[in-house]
Amino acid sequence: MKDKIKTYIQNFLNPDHPQLLKIYQEEKNRRDVQPSVGLEVGKLLGLFVRMMDAKKIIEFGSCMGYSTIVLAQALEETGGKLISVEYRKDLYEKTKHNLKEANLLDVVELIHGDAYDVIQKVEGPFDMILQDSDKSLYSKMYEACINLTRKGGLIIADDTLFKPMGIPDDFSKPVHEYNQLVFQDERLYSTLLPIGDGLLVSTKL
pLDDT in tens, 70-96: 999 999 999 999 999 999 999 999 999
The answer to whether the beta carbons of residues 155 and 149 sit under 8 Å apart is yes
- How many whole angstroms from its chain centre is CA 67? 6
pTM: 0.94
Q: Give pLDDT, residue 160.
A: 96
If you average pLDDT over residues 41-50, what whole number do you get?
Answer: 97
CA distance 169 to 138: 15
DSSP summary character for residue 14: -
DSSP codes, 36-47: --HHHHHHHHHH
Peptide bond into 174 cis (omega under 30): no
Tell me: the pLDDT tens digits for 7-18? 899 899 988 898
Give the pairing type, strands 149-158 and 81-86: unpaired
